[in-house]
Structure 1
Amino acid sequence: MEQDALHLWGYLLGLIQLLGAVAALHAVLTVRTAQGAIAWAISLLFMPYLTLLPYLVFGRSRFDAYIQARRQADQQMHRAMAKLDWRPWVEEAQAARESDVGRSLRLLARLAQQPPLANNQVRLLIDGEATFSAIFEAIAAARKVVLVQFFIVHDDQLGRRLQELLLERAAAGVPVFFLYDRVGCHALPRRYVQRLREGGVAVQAFSASVRSGMLSRFQLNFRNHRKLVVVDGLRGFVGGLNVGDEYLGQNPRLSPWRDTHMELRGPVLACLQESFAQDWYWACRELPPLLLADEYPAGGVLCQVVSSGPADPQETGSLLFVAAINAARRRIWLTSPYFVPDEAVFAALRLAVMRGVEVRLLLPARPDHRVVYAASSLYAREALAAGVRVFRYQPGFLHQKVLLIDDDTAAVGSANLDNRSFRLNFELTVFTIDTAFAAEVERMLLNDFSHSREMDIDDVSRAHQLKRLGMRVARLISPIL
């Protein structure tokens, strides 16, 4: 009996090894990047017992059926919006001539397939209290429509404050639309969503399920990481903050939480609403109300919205960083909670240093995901060796995603400097060209740098041998994180 059981275990282990080899071949043929293909193939060949199931769940970064279905849905949405005379308005609202738009912004406009728009007002929102005070004040004053989208929503004090506000506006007859990511909100209780629905809020969960009938229960890799609120077509909010008490600094392990959002008013809200409409249309094949003002005050800030995702014809998530880095002539400061760049982004950073650009990278000193932090630490060491100045933010966890280029260009959004944001997540970033706003972003970042420790090349060398080995292993699998 025991011998039969041993034989059975032997057959099972052999089958897993065979399936691992088949999956490794599949990874080589289908994974979009060479680094990702190698990482998956090696792990599947030598550790199939640990990696086969994760590959089935996460490995098919290019899920063709989903991408095709998403593109078809986007085309259908644009046809429906054309009937509403929406896209023509966006094109006609382009107030900036080619001569007034920087080379990088023209390239970003082609990547985003949306025009840069002038006559906008922007406001920097530093950390959670300022962000949610502004968002909640705008929602409470809503009269026509509220569009809300977050990657993570928790059923905690902050989440319930948002819930009550949405229910209050719905009870007052204001159409309210609430979109959340199914994976990011896996812990959100069903009762939270059900109460919103019962109170008249239109609620949809974003998932990568293909509506053609194909089962995609193993496909969890595509996630909607955008954070977006638009109220009455007049006020919009984008940035790095999700809805949860930890974003207000109430998680002792990561507190104080450092993050950044921005408020926008003006024609750029057309692009923000279009981004929301694309995701909402994918979820339910219906369009939310889209509101436009008849006119906007002249002057203000030039803005370019870049919505990126895995269904883009180009790898927009990576290319927007490459374009931004290549555009810098004097300096580029980047801040991100995760630093796991691909070859193109890392090469752009090296070249920027070589042409005399001051490149600063601000990263957290505390990890929220230890494997990603370990991989990020090794990439940070290589960035140091290439001449990048790397800083670790000391007071708490740093989660903001901000860019500053030279003296006039800044960006705030949801995209991290990692493979997931480059190729797997739906992200939203807003670039601005305005010296006054760039100066405000500079003051914010200088304050962050003053609370940071600049790394030196020996930081990783001083680490324990076992820790350095962990960094190497984490880097090996970094393309699939």
Structure 2
Amino acid sequence: MKKKAAVIFQCNVKAREYMRRGLQVILIGAILIAFYYFGFGVFGKTAGTIVSIFSTLTVISLGFIIFMENRNPSTTISWILLLALMPVVGLIFYFLFGQNYFKKRKFDKKAEQDFKTFDRYAMRSIRMHQDLSHFSPSQQQLLHLSQRLARTPISFASHSKVLTNGKETFSTLLQELEKAKHHIHMEYYIYRADDIGTRIQQILIEKAREGLKVRFMYDAWGSMQLPKSFLQSMIDAGIQVTAYGSSKTLFFSSRVNYRNHRKIVVIDGTIGFIGGLNVGDEYLSRSAAYGFWRDTHMVVKGEAVRTLQIIFLRDWHYMTNEKILEAEYFSPVQEEQGTGGVQIIPSGPDNDRRVLKNIFFSMITSAQKSVWLATPYFIPDEDILTSLRVAAMSGLDVRILFPAKPDKWLPFLASHSYFPTLLEAGVKIYEYEKGFLHSKLLIVDGEIATIGTANMDMRSFHLNFEVNALLIHTESVQRMVSDFERDLKYTKLVSKDHLNDKRIYERFLESLARLLSPLL
């Protein structure tokens, strides 16, 4: 009966959604037709007048649709202002980045398939209910929330090791790839056909020719410069290759707004990699433009790797329709003697719970002593911004580590627009000057931390597919704390006087970028 009721409820929800969408289309059509004839009668039949009327009405209609969709208020206002001030640009941006229809239609189906195909099958042998009595009440609440939101378990039989910067990350990755015996699963947002990319490619080709199952996924937007010949040589060697969001009309598709930002490697189902590094020479500090590249990655062994495996296989199934459920991919993994807990947390537009954003919010609001944050892009929503300000005003040690120079100017300017209100609340902001900071960390009280692919920005909260690891009372947390303290030696503390000395045009550009920040 419960199952039947759930199906009926789901059908009713979908019916209401289709009805609402249909009414919107009818309304737009009626308005356009009415004003079409009105335009002929009042203004004449000149093409310019008709085009002007139609463009104006289209902007008004789209503004009404955005308003009726009950989006985040700041996002709604940003879209309406963009459409009003720059109609042509606004229309192009809306059709590329603003439509929710593709998201609802595709990702609701993906979430349903993931649950039916993988979660119920592959998660059966994982312990979802753990004894958390040895944690503080606030920590228990956080862990209960993270498991409920992410629908993944926290493992106390896993070992994690933080990998600082590209040299340590890629040397470890290359060693583990060479040891592979059964399969290699690899998923990256950015993959370049440069020196390090070619070295990894050659190992994958070698392993595929040895008979291993090698599956390689890249994001079509992030890796758009990846040559077809580079991929073809992998395919010829027997590697299964697919692109997330692959489309012949990528630039004219709403798919471009929903990107797979994950960085996942799973080897033989026993060892996994997760973190902030893509594959490219710049991540090894070989770029003249960026210089030293400060980043953080992590290697995981034990029980938690199973969750990482499932996340990859769900993404693979979504793009290829290949269901990989063979026992060898889910065989019992050797439990590692770890200190503390590790939880792998996926987040994306296929989950309306805003998983990582809400976990970040809970971590900040539950802090008792300190909140340390490192991010290359800082574009928070009101919830995160308020939580950081309140934590600082409550006397907590709140620090933000941010790059002194940008890799993308628009997010960089938007990020700076949030600094004055944070400094006023007592938040300490440090600009990293040794090179480019790309680490994505949140450390609370020196005991709980999260590391992964998600930035502290609205794109990671609402649009991208991300994956993070939540760590509690592990040696990896202590390593992250010491790395953070070392990074502070290469920073400049942002002062109120520095912000006050900014020129008017700089403040204007920052304010303009902030206006567009919900769309970034």
Superposed pair shares fold, TM > 0.5: yes
- Given that 2:75 and 2:519 are in contact with CA atoms closer than 8 Å, whether structure 1 keeps it comes out as yes
1:159 match: 197
Mapping of residues 365-376 of structure 1, within 5 Å: 365-376=404-415
Q: Is 1:253 aligned with 2:289? A: yes
Residues 157 and 117 of structure 1, relative CA distance in 2, 3 Å threshold = same
Distance in 2 separating the partners of 1:157 and 1:31: 47
Q: Which amino acid in the other structure matches residue 349 of structure 2?
A: P
Distance in 2 separating the partners of 1:435 and 1:302: 7
1:343 match: 382
2:90 match: 51
Mapping of residues 24-423 of structure 1, within 5 Å: 24-30=63-69, 32-61=71-100, 63-78=103-118, 82=121, 86-91=122-127, 96-101=130-135, 102=139, 103-207=141-245, 217-288=253-324, 290-423=329-462
- Given that 1:338 and 1:417 are in contact with CA atoms closer than 8 Å, whether structure 2 keeps it comes out as yes
* TM-score after normalising by structure 2: 0.85
Q: Which amino acid in the other structure matches residue 430 of structure 1?
A: A
Distance in 2 separating the partners of 1:76 and 1:192: 35
- Given that 2:261 and 2:466 are in contact with CA atoms closer than 8 Å, whether structure 1 keeps it comes out as yes
2:496 match: 457
* TM-score after normalising by structure 1: 0.92
Which structure is larger by alpha-carbon Rg, 1 or 2? 2
1:475 match: 514
Structure 2: runs of 5+ lacking an equivalent: 1-44
Q: Which amino acid in the other structure matches residue 257 of structure 2?
A: N
- Given that 2:292 and 2:435 are in contact with CA atoms closer than 8 Å, whether structure 1 keeps it comes out as yes
- Given that 1:378 and 1:460 are in contact with CA atoms closer than 8 Å, whether structure 2 keeps it comes out as no
Distance in 2 separating the partners of 1:447 and 1:197: 43
Tell me the CA shift for residue 294 of structure 1: 4.9
Q: How high is the sequence identity, in percent, across the aligned residues?
A: 32
Q: Which amino acid in the other structure matches residue 439 of structure 2?
A: Q
1:213 match: none
SS at match of 1:25: helix
- Given that 1:127 and 1:260 are in contact with CA atoms closer than 8 Å, whether structure 2 keeps it comes out as yes
CA deviations on 1:318-361 (whole Å, 9 max, x unpaired) are 11210111221111101000000001111211221233221111
1:212 match: none
- Given that 1:17 and 1:45 are in contact with CA atoms closer than 8 Å, whether structure 2 keeps it comes out as no
Q: Which amino acid in the other structure matches residue 166 of structure 1?
A: L
Tell me the CA shift for residue 274 of structure 1: 1.1
SS at match of 2:292: coil
Distance in 2 separating the partners of 1:208 and 1:172: 29
Tell me the CA shift for residue 98 of structure 1: 2.6
SS at match of 1:329: coil
Distance in 2 separating the partners of 1:298 and 1:468: 52
Residues 13 and 162 of structure 1, relative CA distance in 2, 3 Å threshold = farther
2:36 match: none
Tell me the CA shift for residue 460 of structure 1: 2.2
CA deviations on 1:28-85 (whole Å, 9 max, x unpaired) are 2236211111100111022102221111101125632122222232133227x61xxx
- Given that 2:340 and 2:474 are in contact with CA atoms closer than 8 Å, whether structure 1 keeps it comes out as no
2:61 match: 22
Residues 301 and 192 of structure 1, relative CA distance in 2, 3 Å threshold = farther
- Given that 1:158 and 1:244 are in contact with CA atoms closer than 8 Å, whether structure 2 keeps it comes out as yes
- Given that 1:208 and 1:220 are in contact with CA atoms closer than 8 Å, whether structure 2 keeps it comes out as no
Q: Which amino acid in the other structure matches residue 111 of structure 2?
A: R
- 311-320 or 121-130, larger mean C-alpha shift: 311-320
Distance in 2 separating the partners of 1:156 and 1:394: 26
Tell me how many residue pairs correspond in the alignment. 465
Distance in 2 separating the partners of 1:12 and 1:458: 50
Tell me the CA shift for residue 313 of structure 1: 3.4
Residues 230 and 435 of structure 1, relative CA distance in 2, 3 Å threshold = closer
Distance in 1 separating the partners of 2:431 and 2:177: 35
CA deviations on 1:173-197 (whole Å, 9 max, x unpaired) are 1111111111111111112222111
Distance in 1 separating the partners of 2:337 and 2:291: 41
- Given that 1:234 and 1:293 are in contact with CA atoms closer than 8 Å, whether structure 2 keeps it comes out as no
Give the number of the structure whose residues are more often helix, by fraction: 2
Residues 8 and 430 of structure 1, relative CA distance in 2, 3 Å threshold = same
Distance in 1 separating the partners of 2:198 and 2:216: 14
Tell me the CA shift for residue 435 of structure 1: 5.0
- Given that 1:147 and 1:276 are in contact with CA atoms closer than 8 Å, whether structure 2 keeps it comes out as yes
Q: Which amino acid in the other structure matches residue 204 of structure 1?
A: T
- 96-105 or 358-367, larger mean C-alpha shift: 96-105
- Given that 2:95 and 2:254 are in contact with CA atoms closer than 8 Å, whether structure 1 keeps it comes out as yes
Distance in 2 separating the partners of 1:308 and 1:271: 13
- 421-430 or 396-405, larger mean C-alpha shift: 396-405
Distance in 1 separating the partners of 2:259 and 2:210: 32
- Given that 1:238 and 1:261 are in contact with CA atoms closer than 8 Å, whether structure 2 keeps it comes out as yes
Residues 242 and 306 of structure 1, relative CA distance in 2, 3 Å threshold = same
Tell me the CA shift for residue 317 of structure 1: 2.9
Residues 61 and 341 of structure 1, relative CA distance in 2, 3 Å threshold = farther
CA deviations on 1:278-321 (whole Å, 9 max, x unpaired) are 11111112234524345424443310111101111311131121
SS at match of 1:124: strand
Q: Is 1:436 aligned with 2:470? A: no
Distance in 1 separating the partners of 2:246 and 2:500: 42
Residues 150 and 37 of structure 1, relative CA distance in 2, 3 Å threshold = same
Distance in 2 separating the partners of 1:419 and 1:275: 22
- Given that 1:77 and 1:281 are in contact with CA atoms closer than 8 Å, whether structure 2 keeps it comes out as no
